[in-house]
Amino acid sequence: METLKKLGEIEFTNEIWIFMLPGVLMLIDFLTGLINAWRRHEIKSSRMREGLAKKCGETLVLIIGELFVVAIKVPSYFIKALSGYIILMELISICENLDKLGVPIPGFVKRALKKTDEKIQNDSGKEDEDGH
C-alpha cells in the first residue's frame, strides 16, 4: 500500500498523460515482446491474446479510475497511483524485453527495477506466470 501512496504523488504535466504514457508504454512493451518472440521463433497467438487482454484490462482500470475521480470526487492521487503502477510495470517489462534482445541495460537500472518489482509484488501479494 505504501508503494501506491508514493505513486499517487506523481505530477503529470497534463491530465492526458495519465492515459497516454501508460498507453505508449503498453505499445512499446507489446512490440518489444513481439520482436523477442519473432527472434526466438516462439510467436504464439494464445500468448499474444493473453497479453493484449491484460493490456485492455489495465486500460479499463484507468478508465474506471477516472470515472470515479470525476463522478464521485475520489481524490486525484487515486488515478495517478493507478497510472503510476501501470507505468512501472510496463517499464520493468520493456527493460526485460530489451535485455533479452541484447540491448545493454545498466546494472543500476536493472537493480532498481528489480527492487521496485519485488516491492510491488510484496504489496500486491501475487505473481503472474512470468514471475511478475
The better pLDDT of the pair 1, 81 is held by 81
Q: How is residue 110 written as a grid cell?
A: 536493472
Q: How many CB atoms lie within 10 A of CB 125?
A: 6
19-33, 62-76, 105-119: segment of lowest average pLDDT: 105-119
Average pLDDT of span 17-32: 95
pTM for this model (two decimals) = 0.80
